[in-house]
Amino acid sequence: MWLLDIPAIIPTFLSVYQRVFASHRIPDCRALPQDTAWPNATAFDAFNKSISGRLIKTVPIGSPCHSPTYDAEECGYLQDHWRHPEIHLTSSSSVMNSIFLNKSCDPFTDPEEQCITGAYVQYAVNVSEPQHVVQTLEFVKKYNIRFVVKNTGHDYMGKSTGTGAISVWMHHLQNITFIENFTSKRYSGPAFRVQAGVQGFQITHEASRKGLVVVSGSCPNVGFAGGYIQGGGHSSLSSMYGLGADQTLSFEVITPQGKFVTASPEQHNDLYWALSGGGGGTYGIVWSVTVKAHPDLPITVALLSFSAGGTSKKNYWKAISAFQADTPHFIAARASAFITFSASGFNLTPLFAVNSSVEQVKELLNPFMMTLDSLGIKSLSSIQSYPTYAEAFGSVPSFQTENQDIANFQLGNRLLPRYLWDNNVSLSRLMGVLNDIVDGGGTILDVMVSPTLQIAGYPNNAVLPAWRNAFHAVTAILPLYNNQSIESIAQDQQKIAYNFTEALHKITQDSGAYLNEASPIDPYFKQVFYGDNYNLLLTIKDKYDPDQVMYGSTAIGGDRWREMKDGRLCRTRTRASMKSREDL
């Protein structure tokens, strides 16, 4: 492990907490617009001039659905397209997971209800140069205002919005620069420098034009340089090249203290380490990331589905168990898969096999197909090879931009370690838990990847160590309905965290979770999101963000703050230790 640029002796967490908050005189609570401390119009005008007029006052996108600005036609369009990412991508304030908006100016509530900004940010800065971020940081510190970083708003953890906040909106930073021969002590080869607003599908197509691939997410509208890479970032290429965070070569980043720096293995190496997998929205505002690129390779894509209705429940689960039992064979072939199954059916959408022929994939799937035949289960399947990753990616219906919906579900996640496949007893226990989740109304979203250290090239980064021994990232989900009440949403959230995910936790206690696709109220978030890296990450957080400007409820140091009933962000008096929420 590198010797990071941090004190050799890490202070106790209590002394760190006292030192950070006492020496920097951090207020007990962030200001809200109704407070006398909130800046007046003159102050906002001066701020807007300092950022070249790029300040946007939030008007919630649901306002056409509420009086006095009700417009039946606009409201109808908004309701019909509410699940489409583009509606939220082009908004400076909206986010794709509406649970974090707390029904503020919701387009599906009573039109006579007042449209309030509520949990939306109060203002956004449409960033085009680093100085805009620096000026925003100075302003929020001066007036004690909550600070948020937003790109696409594709966010399951609530980091992209906040009551009374000012955000830096990174969405229009769209430059991609090809570096034909990036050279450093640890890597020589092709690379791309990608600005913070670029989405996954954009870098995929740009790399393809150069005959290359870059590890990016399966959802095309995910921001590439933000929470995806900073949180680890799994991919359909992860069994071949590792996680997104394993590809990083350097970052351009604005620190919360307003310095524009390069973070790499040679400069600010502790910050580079933390940004490479230690969680987004925590240590600094990433302006760009430079990542490795790999030679493009042919990919064979397999799609398969079958219904639960055409067979007995017993046989249905025998079939799912058979697929799970074949995991070691898929992993050995460096294949990856995205699987969903529920009480209604099973869908493999898709299996990706890099540098494998159609015949090889047929052979790989043959034992499972024989099991389906023996159980009398009829399936729909297709196997096709493509010369490039971009073409293979574009062939999958669920990966195509026009078929993407935003999060119409709530979720909780656990990584499944490879030892669960060591014997039939442990595998049977796993299948029992998955069966119980489905019987409880849940759907399983199962990502089969194995980004081992060997495959990733032995990177030194803050990726959760449990990823290196994982075979699957399993997510339990419950549907989220447009008209669902806050109380019902909270009940489902509790069910996922304390029923579904808890059951998975009991059989994977020494593993972890993918922090980007987990429950925002996971009671074990420190251990399962960060593992043994938490303590060092906290030290790095305090070094670069001594004023505690950057916040996320499940981010490093997140337990130092609590959102009150009115959305106000206030300090807690707890120490930032490795305890669970239940211990606080």
- What are the backbone dihedrals phi and psi of residue 381, each rounded to the nearest 5 degrees, phi first? -150, 160
Whether 169 has a pLDDT exceeding 50, the answer reads: yes
E strands in 58-140:
123-126
- In the DSSP assignment, the letter for residue 498 is I
For 270-303, the pLDDT digits (tens) are 999 999 999 999 999 999 999 999 999 999 999 9
- What are the backbone dihedrals phi and psi of residue 443, each rounded to the nearest 5 degrees, phi first? -115, 145
> What distance in Å separates the CA atoms of residue 276 and residue 517, rounded to the nearest whole number?
17
Residue 284 CB contacts under 8 Å (≥ 6 apart), including other chains: 251, 253, 254, 255, 256, 263, 271, 275, 544, 545, 550
For 396-420, the pLDDT digits (tens) are 987 876 656 777 899 999 999 999 9
Q: Give the SS3 label for residue 360.
A: helix
> What distance in Å separates the CA atoms of residue 358 and residue 361, rounded to the nearest whole number?
5
> What distance in Å separates the CA atoms of residue 353 and residue 273, rounded to the nearest whole number?
30
Predicted local confidence at residue 399, as pLDDT = 80
Q: How far is CA 195 from the centre of its chain?
A: 18
Residue carrying the six token digits 């997510």? 475
Choice between 507 and 219, residue whose per-residue pLDDT is larger: 507
For 175-210, the pLDDT digits (tens) are 999 999 999 999 999 999 999 999 999 999 999 999
In angstroms, the first-to-last Cα distance of the chain is 32
The band of 361, judged by pLDDT with boundaries at 50, 70 and 90, is very high
> What distance in Å separates the CA atoms of residue 46 and residue 155, rounded to the nearest whole number?
32
Which tokens in the block code for residue 490? 């909270």
Percent of the chain residues topping a pLDDT of 70: 93
The pTM score is 0.93
The residues facing 260 across adjacent strands are 254
> What distance in Å separates the CA atoms of residue 45 and residue 324, rounded to the nearest whole number?
59
> What distance in Å separates the CA atoms of residue 582 and residue 493, rounded to the nearest whole number?
16
Contact assessment for residue 478 and residue 495, using Cβ atoms and an 8 Å cutoff: yes
Whether 8 has a pLDDT exceeding 60, the answer reads: no
Q: Residue 205's closest CA among 342, 401, 355?
A: 401
Q: Give the SS3 label for residue 346.
A: strand
Q: Residue 280's closest CA among 150, 133, 410, 138?
A: 150
Going along the chain from its start, the domains and CATH numbers come out as 1-169+538-583 (3.30.43.10), 176-295 (3.30.465.10), 299-532 (3.40.462.20)
Burial level of 454, CB count in 10 A (0-12/13-18/19+)?
Answer: exposed
Predicted local confidence at residue 11, as pLDDT = 40
